[in-house]
Amino acid sequence: MTTIIDGNDIADGIRAEVSACTDTLAESDVRPGLATVLMSDDGASETYVSMKQRACEETGIAGFHHEIDPEEPAEVLFDRIEELNADPTVHGILVQMPVPDHVDKREVLERIDPVKDVDGFHPENVGRLVAGNARFKPCTPHGVQKILAAEGIETEGKDAVVVGRSDIVGKPMANLLVQYGEGGNATTTVCHSRTQNLAEKTRNADIVIAAAGVPEMIDGEMIQEGATVIDVGINRVDADNEKGYELVGDVNFDSCREKAGAITPVPGGVGPLTIAMLLYNTVKAASIQSG
Ligand code: GUN
């Protein structure tokens, strides 16, 4: 029997923990605050940021949303980050990626105060993660670890294949899987667009994590019987419906579901965990900053 993993259910448990933490912090007059900054007209990015803001409201976190016209020079964004770094009511800062081409993404990440970097993308936080001393684990890979733990899926000694090498998901995911300790100790292979014989690699994996941003690229022929299949992809593809698009993952769900031991759907799999772990990191940031 294949387990269809309910990401909303797992995320609800984490959100309840976050709410309990905000209640405890309130006793010391601390209200965690998250600032989101959007410098894009992209509809998907707008949707993600508004989902993050709504989740703040629901868990007692103060949400501050900032929009910057994507035509503005990079300095406008840098100045806003500076203000947010100095604002004591803001404990976490998230600049939604991607930013426009004329803005240097690395400079954006480096300008965010590392103790407010709830994405975990600042080089100091990336270094800490790699060193096994993470301050903020990046939200999506951390959410995948929470899914595996909630489903009782052991990683120790298992063969894990991460498909995709992005800074946001693939690289930190692989780093977490090879760390010592719970949710780690996996023999981890990172595959990407230049990988040869991809199916040979994924077929050997106990755990396949698809994060390449290519619609339905992993099909049933590419996984072994009983494998755990985690789909991080959220791709908008044209569809003949009211919205004109539908969301599909990087996994061909129908062909993998019969063969997999456990599989995440899209939507309702990893997505809700990404938001829950952002709230978790924001509360952690508030705890660190309030002493
Ligand atoms: N764009 C897509 N995913 C993310 C994320 O996790 N954080 C930020 N800041 N931007 C993103």
Indicate if 139-271 has the same CATH topology as 29-113. Answer: yes
Protein residue closest via CA to atom 9 of ligand 1: 96
Which residues lie below 8 Å from residue 203, measured CB to CB, with a gap of 6+?
222, 223, 224
Shortest-distance atom of ligand 1 to CA 274: 6
Three-point CA angle 50, 76, 92, nearest 5°: 45
Report CA(168)–ligand 1 centroid distance (Å).
7
- With the most atoms of ligand 1 within 8 angstroms of its CB, the residue from 39, 46, 48 to mutate is 48
What pLDDT shows up at residue 239? Answer: 96
Shortest-distance atom of ligand 1 to CA 138: 6
Residues with catalytic roles: 52, 96, 119
The token pair at 164 is 């995709």
**pTM of structure:** 0.97
Report CA(155)–ligand 1 centroid distance (Å).
25
Distances (CA, A) of 174 to 56, 191, 257: 28, 10, 24
Residues 228-243 have pLDDT tens digits of 999 999 999 999 999 9
Shortest-distance atom of ligand 1 to CA 140: 6
What CATH number has the domain spanning 29-113? 3.40.50.10860
If residue 245 lies in a helix (H) or strand (E), which one and from where to where? strand 245-248
The token pair at 128 is 């800490």
Eight-class DSSP state of 36 = E
Strand duo 235-238 + 228-231: pairing: unpaired
**Spans in the chain with pLDDT lower than 70:** none
Q: Does ligand 1 lie within 6 Å of residue 99's CB atom?
A: no
Please name every residue paired with 165 in a beta bridge, in sequence order, or none if there are none. Answer: none
23 three-class SS: helix
Q: How far apart are CA 63 and CA 28, in angstroms?
A: 19
Ramachandran sector of residue 165 (left: φ over 0; alpha: ψ -120 to 50; beta: rest): alpha
Query: Residues within the annotated binding site?
Result: 164-166, 234
Q: How far apart are CA 177 and CA 209, in angstroms?
A: 11
- With the most atoms of ligand 1 within 8 angstroms of its CB, the residue from 96, 118, 278 to mutate is 96
Closest Cα partner for 93 from 278, 290, 288, 291? 278
Q: Does ligand 1 lie within 6 Å of residue 56's CB atom?
A: no
Tell me how crowded residue 204 is: count the other CB atoms within 10 A of its CB: 15
Q: Does ligand 1 lie within 6 Å of residue 139's CB atom?
A: yes
Q: Does ligand 1 lie within 6 Å of residue 232's CB atom?
A: no
Residue type at 109 in one-letter notation: L
Q: How far apart are CA 23 and CA 65, in angstroms?
A: 23
Q: How far apart are CA 96 and CA 70, in angstroms?
A: 12
Eight-class DSSP state of 218 = B
- Cβ atoms of residues 184 and 155 within 8 Å: yes
Report CA(258)–ligand 1 centroid distance (Å).
31
- Domains of the chain, residue spans: 29-113, 139-271
Q: Which CATH superfamily is domain 139-271 in?
A: NAD(P)-binding Rossmann-like Domain (3.40.50.720)
What pLDDT shows up at residue 291? Answer: 79
